[in-house]
Amino acid sequence: MTQRYELHDDSNGLWSVIDRFTGWPARWQGIPQTGLDYFDADDLTDLLNLLDERRRAKGKPESGGLK
């Protein structure tokens, strides 16, 4: 499964989390996730990808279900 969010080096010592599907900065509670230090951006990228993976998995039938 393609991960939706990725780190982006802003080339000024700061980092952003980018939504690969839209090309725009990811938003958390309405706030664009830009201008972050590396460790915060990396952790947030992992968290957002995990939440997105779980959300997408809910829309799929469970394996071993009715055929």
For the stretch 1-59, pLDDT in tens is: 689 999 999 999 999 999 999 999 999 899 999 999 999 999 999 999 999 999 999 88
3-class SS of residue 32: strand
65 pLDDT more than 80: no
The Cα–Cα gap between 65 and 35 comes to 45
Note the pLDDT of residue 10: 97
62 vs 40, residue with greater confidence? 40
What mean pLDDT is predicted for residues 54-67? 64
3-class SS of residue 66: coil
